[in-house]
Structure 1
Amino acid sequence: MAWITLLAASAVEIAMGLALKYAEGWTRLVPSIIGVVAALASVYLLTIAMRELPAGTAYAAWTGIGSVGITVLGIVLFGDPVSWLRLVCIAMIIVAVAGLRFLEA
Structure 2
Amino acid sequence: MKLSDDGFNARRLRPRGPNRWRMRIGAALAAVLAAFGILLGMAGIASLLGRPPAIDGLDTSTTGAAILTVFGVLFLYLGIFVWRRCRRRMRRTQDLNLAPHLMKRHD
TM-score range, shorter chain: 0.3 to 0.5
TM-score by length of 1: 0.45
Higher RCO structure, 1 or 2 (CA under 8 Å, sep 6+): 2
Structure whose residues are more often helix by fraction: 1
Find the structure with the greater CA-based Rg: 2
TM-score by length of 2: 0.44
